[in-house]
Structure 1
Amino acid sequence: MAPPSRRDDLVKAALRLFLRDGFHATGIAAILAEAETSKMTLYSHFASKEALIAAALAHRDALFRRWLFDRMRAIGGPDPKQQLLAMFDAVGEWIGGAAQPLGPDFVGCAFVRAAGEFVAADHPLHRQAAGHKQAVLDHLVLLCAQAGLAIDTARQLALLKEGAIAEAFVRGDADAWKTARVIASRIL
């Protein structure tokens, strides 16, 4: 495996700050300080702050989906219905700070936060956030098909997952995933 590049360092540093402080509120100077790099290095890799945000979201998307889908398989085993239920256990790990690759602190969903800051539905970063949500839903649709369940079931489970994440982030309800899991078990 190749060592991280300066580009990777910038993306990871920017993502940490975006998740902590917000996309608009995080300035270039803070990113440069966090990444311990120069403005010249930043702009040799990214044409703009929005390009850096897009790269940070792409990194988070790959990291999150790999982690979530791996945890669903690890917890749920080969049964697609159990994997669907395991999604809520994985979300509980994340909310509880035990999702190592996602960082020690639960700070809500990066994609909901991005869509909230880039509100125009046709904005590229809003579309990127929507693309992440669609990719997760597509995985749930696949599992539902394997389990002989309706596509609507995937939509219902995705909505429950999103609600649990929002409740945990906005209201501080660290057990919201448990309630969502109970409802999901009834749906399944």
Structure 2
Amino acid sequence: MATPDPGSDREALVGAASSLYYEHGIQAVGMDAVRAAAGVPLKRLYRTFRSKDDLIEATLRERDAAILTSVRQYVDERRPAGAEEAVLAVFDWMSSWFAEETFRGCAFINAFGELGDDAPRVATAVRDHKRAFRSALAELVSGLELPPERAEALTEQLYIVANGAMATAPITGSPQTALDAKAIARALIAGARREPA
């Protein structure tokens, strides 16, 4: 009889949990549902993840890496169009994401909305992702060559607009939300460039 592969169990469990949590919500999905969807016996599930919080955190860490890689690749393909277009490409990426049939909002905003600080490790994973997303925006804004304090203010504004769009899009059900956010972002960039040095 073949020895179970812990790596493959982990991958199957994280993939199943990530899909189920995103579609139905974290609190609505029990460990038995994850085990059944992953095809992993309950004993091996708990050998791989000692608690549901461990599993939730793992799904968020995986999603964090996937999202940031996807955004960077999308933006890098458009970077030759110029620094402003590179910043605005983030909102085009969001529009494509919002148009996906399986789109249910931002998994990180959803997780924090469900669990808040009652699940500290989950809250930390959410905050880490949002910090990383903000850092990615800051890196793009740096290409605009604004004075540091203006670049910092613009980054924060764009971060708020982007997260606002992520929170609003599942309610509107429309990718247009990202394009409206892009128009706001363009106006904010223009305003930052106009301000006296």
Structure 1 match to 2:177 = 176
Residues 109, 167 of structure 2: 8 Å contact kept = no
Instruction: Work out the CA distance in 1 between the residues paired with 2:59 and 2:83.
Output: 31
Residue 12 in structure 1 maps to residue 15 in structure 2: yes
Alpha-carbon deviation of 1:122?
A: 7.6
Alpha-carbon deviation of 1:18?
A: 0.4
Greater Cα radius of gyration, structure 1 or 2: 2
Structure 2 match to 1:118 = 115
Alpha-carbon deviation of 1:65?
A: 0.7
Structure 1 match to 2:106 = 109
For the residue of structure 2 that corresponds to 1:23, the secondary structure is coil
Instruction: Work out the CA distance in 2 between the residues paired with 1:116 and 1:17.
Output: 17
Residues 71, 93 of structure 2: 8 Å contact kept = yes
User: RMSD of the TM alignment (CA)?
Assistant: 1.6
Q: TM-score, normalised by structure 1?
A: 0.89
- Within the candidate set 148, 151, 164, 2:145 is matched to 148
In the alignment of these two chains, the number of paired residues is 179
Instruction: Work out the CA distance in 1 between the residues paired with 2:8 and 2:119.
Output: 32
Query: Higher mean Cα deviation, 115-124 or 9-18?
Result: 115-124
Note the residue ranges of structure 2 that are not aligned, 5 or more in a row. Answer: 1-6, 190-197
Residue 77 in structure 1 maps to residue 83 in structure 2: no
Q: Kindly indicate which of the two structures has a greater share of residues assigned to helix.
A: 2
After superposition, give the CA deviation of every residue in 1:95-148 in whole Å (9 maximum; x if it has no partner). Answer: 111xxxxxx511100000111122127822112101101100011112212321
Alpha-carbon deviation of 1:78?
A: 6.4
Q: TM-score, normalised by structure 2?
A: 0.85
Instruction: Work out the CA distance in 2 between the residues paired with 1:172 and 1:122.
Output: 29
Give the direction of change, closer, same or farther, for the CA distance of 1:5–1:80 in structure 2 (3 Å limit): farther
Structure 2 match to 1:38 = 41
For the residue of structure 2 that corresponds to 1:44, the secondary structure is helix
Residues 80, 147 of structure 1: 8 Å contact kept = yes
Structure 2 residue identity aligned to 1:176: T
Residues 96, 175 of structure 2: 8 Å contact kept = no
Alpha-carbon deviation of 1:79?
A: 3.0
Alpha-carbon deviation of 1:93?
A: 0.4
Residue 60 in structure 1 maps to residue 63 in structure 2: yes
